[in-house]
Amino acid sequence: MNRKALSALLVLLLSVSPAWAQQEPLPDQPYVLKTTATIHILDIVVTDKKGKVYTNLKQDDFTIYEDAVEQRIRSFEPPSKHTMPEGSGLVVKSSADLPKIGAAPVTILVLDDLNTSFENMAYARNRIQKYLEAQPAVMKQPTTLLAATNTKFVVVKDFTQDRAELLTALHKYFPEYPWKQMKSGGGGSGAFERMGESLNSLYSMAEAFRGTPGRKTVLWVGKGFPAVDLLNLDTSSTILLQAGIKRITNALLDSRITLYTIDPSSQLGTIGVIGTSDDLQDYETRNDGQPFSDEINFSTLAPATGGKAFFSRNDIDAEVAEGTEAGSNYYTISYTPSNPPKPGEEYRQIRIKMRDPSLTAVTRDGYYPPDPHVDATGAPIPRTPKEQRDELEAEMGKAAMSTLAYNGLLLSLAPADGGKVKLGVASGGLKWTDEPSGKTRAEITVLQVAFSSKDKALAHSSQELSAEVMGRIQNPDQKAYFLIPVQMPPGTTRLRVVVRDAVNGKIGTVELLTGGK
């Protein structure tokens, strides 16, 4: 791989900090960046041979296998447990309302203007409009509309059930001409840059919507990044790219995101393309059980997460409807592996056997076991405090510069006296640790950025804070409050605050509009 192209990709894919974040380093102490859950959650869609969805099955109808070993089911939820509050009408008007829906699913529509020709996206938007017009005035699922552009990943319309508001936002959205796609085509540094930006958009969604407990159906309308043939790369480039794709894949699965990719172009050469779970399993059988052994293809992420890749069809509205319907009728099963991964294992396959062989169950294909960071030779690299700080700054910097509302932590923000703001953090999202004094303690990192009306960062600051309470928190909605000083230079129109739990890595964001005063 061209070194310039690889560098462009890794800057985006492996979390290099924004330039302004380097100006004010966070305190010199180690951080815990990730936690590894031992309980695996599967969202499962069951259909018959004609594609009809089955919603009345019992736990005994399912048998779970991980790497060919049968697993004991810990919990089982039928589709009836994943519904909106009964008789509630219009519940969700913005991201702030998502806690009201419990474990009900949400839909995320993404317009891929970064990787798709202007003509194909114009047609795609027309079909998305047709899909929305066919929905009830109050949509069954909260839906958000996002766009991947040449320069950023933007929110076109926040989560809402109001069909009219989504249609209005779609009509007002004026897409950028895809000059990066036109310039780079399928190769060169521009193509790898688009790959990094696309994967970073997926990672941002995984982190931002982590606090929404139900299934999240992402309908990515566009071509996605060009495929990368790993067999033509040197060993170090292959290792680094695979490390990036592993991180993205696990982030999507941890956030319970199921991806459906919808290519609006008329492709004739789709023979051999991995579009369904059966396609992916056949591929893994031929490639030592690995989903990305010789090629990294955007569409492969769909069946890997339990979704589907659509190709060479012009009924995009029907494809969106199919993905949304699957996201509405799913079972949730959890288990703890009875055969934990061994050091060095690359990938763990998950398979489901139905008691009725005429039924097909579709879920995530598997997962990558936790793996230490490796260098270009595959050798582990010790995680120094500085490396951990750099990664922490990168994660929080991305959240600060994003327009997505991160809900891993639920926050509130209000003006206070003395040039300060009152920050509230719901205790249920924090990791509380026991202290010898009998108190429990939570630690957070807070990053605040002041923006102008043109979204230029005018000032920023960060600090480490902690809260202590006697005994254990009984009410997860109870908030821990912090008074923090703010920097708002003249011209500031909004203050964005990013909070990250120092132990479990959950991130939340909240904004305060200042009106330029």
User: Which structural domains are found in the chain, ordered by start?
Assistant: 3-34+388-513 (2.60.40.2150), 40-367 (3.40.50.410)
For residue 38, what pLDDT is reported?
A: 75
Q: Are 45 and 330 in contact (CB under 8 A)?
A: yes
Cα 378 to Cα 2, 230, 237, 240, distances in angstroms: 20, 16, 11, 9
Greater model confidence, 274 or 384 = 274
Whether 443 shows a pLDDT value over 50: the answer reads yes
Cα gap 267→311, rounded to integer Å: 7
pLDDT at 9: 54
Distance CA 67, CA 141 (A): 34
Cβ-based neighbours of 101, under 8 Å, separated by 6 or more = 84, 85, 91, 92, 142, 214
pLDDT for res 18: 40
Which distant-in-sequence residues (6+ apart) come within 8 Å of 438 by Cβ?
A: 470, 471
DSSP letter (8 states) at residue 80:
G
Give the model confidence (pLDDT) of 277-303 as tens digits: 988 899 888 888 889 888 889 999 999
Residue with tokens 């069909």: 163
CA–CA separation, 394 vs 399, rounded Å? Answer: 9
Is the pLDDT at 55 greater than 60? The verdict is: yes
Q: Cα 126 from chain centroid?
A: 26
**Nearest CA-CA partner of 200 in 81, 114, 288, 75:** 114
Q: Which of 100-104, 257-261, 496-500 has the lowest mean pLDDT?
A: 100-104
Which residue carries 């989504």 as its tokens? 166
pLDDT at res. 35: 40
Task: Note the pLDDT of residue 272.
Answer: 54
Residue type at position 101: I
Longest dimension (CA), the chain: 68
Separation CA 412–CA 423 (nearest Å): 6
The answer to which of 269-273, 398-402, 475-479 has the lowest mean pLDDT is 269-273
**Do 510 and 412 form a contact (C-beta atoms < 8 A)?**
yes
**pTM for this model (two decimals):** 0.88
Residue scoring higher pLDDT (311 or 345): 311
Q: Measured between alpha carbons, how far is 418 from 153 in angstroms, rounded to an integer?
A: 35
* Average confidence (pLDDT) over 366-370: 88
Q: Is the pLDDT of residue 474 over 70?
A: yes
The pLDDT value recorded for residue 32 is 38
Name the least confident of 127-136, 254-263, 273-282, 338-347: 338-347
